[in-house]
Copies of this chain bind each other. A is one copy, B any other.
Amino acid sequence: MVRNTGQPAYLQIADDLRAQIRGGSLAPGTPLPSTTKLAERYDASLSVVKLAVGVLRTEGLVIGQQGKGVFVREAGELPPDPKAGDELAELRATVQDLAVRLAKVEEQLATSTTRRSGRSSR
């Protein structure tokens, strides 16, 4: 599809969707058409549609929910499904994970250095 504009297809699609969101055609909370539908509508491959959605996702304009769909983000607030997309919870989980792993590493290090195998380079 597209071209002419010199812009890659996935950016054109992303721009179009972004315009629709900002223009109100796609209201906050409403789901975008499915990847397949968008691919048909824009006559593009699934891959470029996924790329386009990916751009909007990293921009924070939309939020993808596995199994359900991709929803337009409420400006400044969370979508009707405030699932575990919480950064704080994510961070906590990560920190917890790090703590456990650190403990293991420290343990290994303690037992291995006693017989002096300290083989730490770089």
User: Which stretch in A22-30, A36-44, A62-70, A109-117 binds the other chain?
Assistant: A109-117
Q: Which B residues lie within 8 Å of A93 (CB)?
A: 6
Counting every copy of the chain, the complex holds 2
Report the bound CA distance from A102 to B108 in whole Å: 13
Report the bound CA distance from A51 to B47 in whole Å: 12
- A side interface size, CB within 8 A: 33
Q: Which B residues lie within 8 Å of A82 (CB)?
A: 60
Which partner residue on chain B sits nearest A120 by CB separation? B108
Ranked nearest first, the 4 interchain pairs of A and B with the lowest CB-CB distance are A112-B119, A55-B58, A58-B58, A94-B95
CB distance from A33 to the nearest CB of B (A): 17
